[in-house]
Structure 1
């Protein structure tokens, strides 16, 4: 940032950067769109008949493009009533769109615009249905040449087929700019940029070219951008673009101001004495570390995909993705000459040929796309495994392995042996032993052991930023069906356990920075990271996660505060105050962003089971941010008070005008309205199933908790009853199935407790040893931090993670190779296996 440059060069560079960003936005991002309309105008006499609740019109169409934006439906002057329905069904007769449109008498006769905003598959048939809603409309149709309009199918009215007829309407598709526009605009942008660069060069030939710094140029460009963006957002809030409620708009306004202040501070704060982090020299000397961080991020992403998998094939693919990335994390510890040499070239040639033969031999026509992916990943993992084994064997023969911490290493080795011997048919334990056994051995031969925690923490943060970006774009925060926000997952418990481990990384990074300096200019980025992660944790409203994170924060702040006696208390209070302040500042900003950005993008991603749980039409499409179906501040307060403080839902009414009857209708009785897309009004069409049968159940319970255990006074949500069932069925050798038989006769999904689950899966002795290993890990990690806190960056990471997993593991099942908590715990203990030097 302090680099000195000529002002002309700086301006030219900014012009070229703007040009590059605009070109990228054209392709490959393709964020600019155009509207392509298909106009259906009958060629002859136009017929108009009454359409009401019983008499409907159905028009079959063939999708021409992949996103339909709106449909303009013609209505004549005889139409009367308040609203009518337009629905679209796919070829499986599933409702993908329903829009209740207001009839505008002043525009009759004429076209009524209906918002569609749904993705379609080009070439597939769809069915457009018109139906009255306590109203009677008159729409026109007439003869259309199929040769001129082959994308129009059969038209039905009431109980009869209208041969050769088509509905009078305009179908408006929204699509990225076509190639001619992309090339044309791209050429225009390049031309303007070239002329601008040439103009700057000519101008400064006549005028003195002064020197400036990169920092001044950065401030001069970014400050106006942030200012304009803040003003636009404030204007949108004040005009009610995001809703009409005063409380919501007040929070949005404050959030915009806070975000602008954060950005302005980040741009303009004093950088005297601060050194650039990612310099060219750093990238050259730490390339392997960056690769390992990205690989760890990929492995954590594989764990997240596993936890969100709904079927065995999803788990299979996710496991292999995780192990593929994990293999790269191991290889990142190799020296360049250990990767590129004659032995590896010979091996890779032979392994590649055999891998191709294996792939072709096992590939069958019956395999679907996911099965083929799993086979490909299996071959790649096998090749990388052999590659790692060769280097590991050579290194061990050359006695490169560091000295072991014999007691703790023995604990780990015995545990590894026990979960293999008593695996009871499970293979994930074997995979865990092989994967982390190789990781530990190669770490022991690595020359940069002091960098491991930085790489792990950075990998976790990279994955969190990536997944949160996805959530901001595609995971809407919904009022009634998703009040406890699930981030990139489909259940709150998975989200809370994942965020617990991200909290560990964020708080270690922040507290390590606060230990060096509490000046805002030195730690503002870490404060923002911790505040955002904590905000998403608060969105889950998970009492168990709050408990685990609360204990972990108190512990982490305590061991990293520094000082003695009174100074320790002062440092503890200051650090805790900064953590709390970070959450208070970031919570409204994060809430506002997560509530509104997915609605602006309007490309929601739902898991299969979520379609039967939540997301009404106003959220799924249309960019209607003012709808009450998006999360509101008062609703968040209401649910938070219920889940955390036991205040019954519906007690609080911060909006004033939110009547109890409306609350009951929208919340208590919203299952049918939210899942049937309004199909409670029966559609009568010849040859089409009754759409009321398309309603999916909203009674989804993600965990097998006994119904009798779900009492209002049961703060554990039935976990105590599950624990009792598991305790009663423990034995000495374990079980093949991980689910115990509950009192209700059902199989539990899991024990909601890592200690019980290990004992149930592998037997009581293994369970006892697992508890001892946990205690040994905690003590060893505390001793490690005490000895290495001044030498190793983030030396507290193993202690913090072990506390978080130990506490969270008492109420949730999180110890598994493909659970983010289990993966990060096994990564965190890596240096503990070896003696400190």
Structure 2
């Protein structure tokens, strides 16, 4: 009987959630949010199992000499830079994941403003070639009593390998590297130990070896079934808790919400107070008085934002008007919006990885990720009944079987296998989208009459017809003069699929809302990566690149984020009087984007954001009939919020990476411990950016080379500037790092000193582009400099399109950009008073237009270029209906 009661209770619970009752319609969005949370967590766990392969079977070879790696048990003779212990090992499995080497460390003195103590672990093959090395923080060794290295590489069983520990000559710590009796260790891996060249066969270094092997298909299936079962149980428990809350505490929702918000605010203030004492009073992060004042201002600003969000929660959760839609339709719509937003967020994150790539492999993989996410995002434009059908199921089964068959013939390393998996994903995703588009077209009632009606409407709209014809001609010219450029197909054919999606104002507004939210989601992911792994350096990399290794890429991406955030902000502002109250989240995101733009010191981003603000202010003033006082008030509020929030952004970028202590350096960046931040460096190291240094360098960016150097006050170090990323087909054209010494400055050209080139040499390069333009285009991205190398910077999308694809294509590109801008303006003026989200196309077009003056942006895998091409497709159509 008890089991029957539980069964009927669960059945009633599910029926109450998924039925079309008044209760189900009222709380449909909340139920969808619960489903999304549980399903997302389960999906991430399943992806970790396959295809990421992060869940594997572990085989541990543990030493048996010591039950507890206590320091007293591991006492031994001191081991220094002059000592050498080379251990021979024969691994017993095919894949070595981790080596745990027991050793001791005593730090004699605390280094506050210098690099942290570290040791180097090296692994050699049988030919004494180093196949892996890793630096380990000595503080962790002193605390744990062992060193952990993760080679995570394939090895050959029965083949001799060697590993050793290297100590720096400048090290002041005292290390011990004990040995144990081989018989007591009882490990098959251990062999001869060479101590200062002397052979020892009775003892070995004390270490554990962790091997891994991938899961079998049965193991993957078992893990997936287990994850789905746990997710179902968790979802049912959440439904039970929510139902109990509705029955018992819903009448006290306001009081409970007030208690929760006040408690969260108090905890936030207490945490901020503790951080204030640690960072400002105790000066744990070092720096001058200006740094401490900036930290204090940043902490206060973060508190204000936190309290503001908590105060705004009741307004966000206030019950909306009851929808007449069935509960199932609300659930489906919420899910489609979520999937489309996440797809665009991950898509833009993949584009960031693309422009940040330093080798072709990452270009290939991230292009495929972009295509997969784009296909799924476009599929979400359709009603669920249009793509949830037997044809889709059959294609997924065929696609899965074909992918398994294709993958079985792929041979190579892990990179080639990953590329093969992504290729299969592209085929399956786009096959699903194209098949459903064809199915919808075929099933359209009175197809011939519908096509005739669309053709007649297109012929009447001459501007739209001209836009479409010019775009087709431009695409054909790119195909004709593409040479070896494959991306021209990616820049046209996939985006054309958008032209077949539902063409109503309601669907377009929903698409734009999810598109802009996806951009902001990618910004959140990028910010998370920056705070976890990318500190702001004092030396050399003083212009903060964030997750990118060049500030040109940083500025281009942040300009797109700023454009989306500002469009949402000004679209929501309209003529509201309580600006900050109604647009609190939009102000926060815009302020964060501006903060990162200031840290990047990218003049391209400065110019683009300034022009974007002016353009959006102008077009919204016309659409909403704003007066001068209102315009100035909005600008004043925007500037005040951004300036007041900048200390928060600076403080977060300064503190969080230092505390996390996991810096990521790219191979293309400097690899020098003397000025680059490494793991284990103290939080008050002088390698971190300071307030004085930042503002001196920022103001120096707008002066001449000598003036900027003098303003920064760091001599030749400030003069060195990392060149920008240059994408040349499927490879990097290279990075130019220019530096000037005192002698070079004194011997500089007198005429150049009197009339400095504020374009940083761009005008001369642009002249070379113009002189080289011809009707037939060129196989390479740009002309060559006097040395015979391609120019590594000073790009211009308009000149490069003409250079790459010919003069006619270049002129057509200018006309297409002008038409896109005009149609974006008309779209907002026609519908902006009712649907403010239609400001997004105008903002993206403006951002792309001004970024293109100094950067190469017309590419489907560059954020600004992707946004522009996609907005072109939207602007190429007219809206057949109105939003309900």
TM-score (structure 1 length as normaliser): 0.75
* Distance apart, 1:86 and its partner CA: 3.7
* Distance apart, 1:515 and its partner CA: 1.4
| Residue of structure 1 in register with 2:276 after alignment | 234
Work out the CA distance in 2 between the residues paired with 1:70 and 1:601: 25
Work out the CA distance in 2 between the residues paired with 1:294 and 1:787: 29
Distance 1:309 1:561, change over 3 A: same
* Distance apart, 1:510 and its partner CA: 0.9
How do 1:271-350 and structure 2 match up within 5 A?
271=314, 275=318, 284-350=332-398
Does the residue aligned with 1:448 lie in a helix, a strand or coil?
helix
Distance 1:344 1:273, change over 3 A: closer
2:621 aligns with one of 548, 552, 561: 561
Does the residue aligned with 2:787 lie in a helix, a strand or coil?
coil
Asked if 2 retains the 8 angstrom alpha-carbon contact of 1:300 and 1:463, the reply is yes
Pairing 1:72–2:104 present:
yes
Asked if 2 retains the 8 angstrom alpha-carbon contact of 1:242 and 1:626, the reply is yes
Deviations 1:674-720 (A, max 9, x none): xxxxxxxxxxxxxxxxxxxxxxxxxx995469999999944333323
Distance 1:455 1:139, change over 3 A: closer
* Distance apart, 1:59 and its partner CA: 6.7
* Distance apart, 1:324 and its partner CA: 0.8
Deviations 1:74-123 (A, max 9, x none): 799xxxxx998743334427653276899xxxxxxx98999978655499
Deviations 1:544-578 (A, max 9, x none): 2211211111111122135899x522122111111
Pairing 1:804–2:836 present:
no
Does the residue aligned with 1:127 lie in a helix, a strand or coil?
strand
Work out the CA distance in 2 between the residues paired with 1:53 and 1:349: 60
* Distance apart, 1:523 and its partner CA: 1.4
Distance 1:834 1:133, change over 3 A: closer
| Residue of structure 1 in register with 2:537 after alignment | 478
For this pair of structures, how many residues does the alignment match? 738
Pairing 1:492–2:551 present:
yes
Deviations 1:559-607 (A, max 9, x none): 2135899x52212211111111121122111111122212222233333
* Distance apart, 1:421 and its partner CA: 3.2
Deviations 1:312-335 (A, max 9, x none): 222111111101111112111112
Distance 1:282 1:548, change over 3 A: same
Asked if 1 retains the 8 angstrom alpha-carbon contact of 2:623 and 2:832, the reply is no
Work out the CA distance in 2 between the residues paired with 1:75 and 1:537: 40
Asked if 2 retains the 8 angstrom alpha-carbon contact of 1:72 and 1:171, the reply is no
| Residue of structure 2 in register with 1:657 after alignment | none
2:498 aligns with one of 420, 429, 439: 439
Distance 1:797 1:145, change over 3 A: same
| Residue of structure 2 in register with 1:180 after alignment | none
Mean CA deviation greater in 520-529 or 370-379: 370-379
* Distance apart, 1:42 and its partner CA: 12
Asked if 1 retains the 8 angstrom alpha-carbon contact of 2:87 and 2:204, the reply is yes
| Residue of structure 2 in register with 1:184 after alignment | none
| Residue of structure 2 in register with 1:87 after alignment | 120
* Distance apart, 1:518 and its partner CA: 4.2
How do 1:725-764 and structure 2 match up within 5 A?
725-748=768-791, 752-764=795-807
Mean CA deviation greater in 399-408 or 413-422: 399-408
| Residue of structure 2 in register with 1:144 after alignment | 181
* Distance apart, 1:630 and its partner CA: 2.3
| Residue of structure 2 in register with 1:536 after alignment | 596
Mean CA deviation greater in 288-297 or 819-828: 288-297
TM-score (structure 2 length as normaliser): 0.72
1:130 aligns with one of 163, 167, 181: 167
Work out the CA distance in 1 between the residues paired with 2:268 and 2:172: 49
Distance 1:382 1:636, change over 3 A: same
Distance 1:568 1:67, change over 3 A: farther
2:411 aligns with one of 349, 364, 382: 364
Q: Unpaired segments of 5 or more residues in structure 2?
A: 1-33, 49-53, 55-62, 109-114, 125-129, 156-161, 211-236, 459-463, 723-731
Work out the CA distance in 2 between the residues paired with 1:483 and 1:146: 55
Asked if 1 retains the 8 angstrom alpha-carbon contact of 2:712 and 2:718, the reply is no
How do 1:83-482 and structure 2 match up within 5 A?
86-91=119-124, 92=130, 96-97=134-135, 121=152, 126-133=163-170, 144-145=181-182, 147-148=184-185, 150=187, 158=196, 160=198, 164-165=202-203, 212-237=254-279, 238-269=281-312, 271=314, 275=318, 284-350=332-398, 352-357=400-405, 359-360=406-407, 363-365=410-412, 368-391=416-439, 393-394=441-442, 395=444, 399=450, 403-404=457-458, 405-444=464-503, 448-482=507-541
Q: Unpaired segments of 5 or more residues in structure 1?
A: 1-15, 31-35, 77-81, 103-109, 174-193, 654-659, 672-699
Deviations 1:277-320 (A, max 9, x none): 79988655444333322222232222222212222222111111
| Residue of structure 2 in register with 1:683 after alignment | none
Work out the CA distance in 1 between the residues paired with 2:429 and 2:718: 48
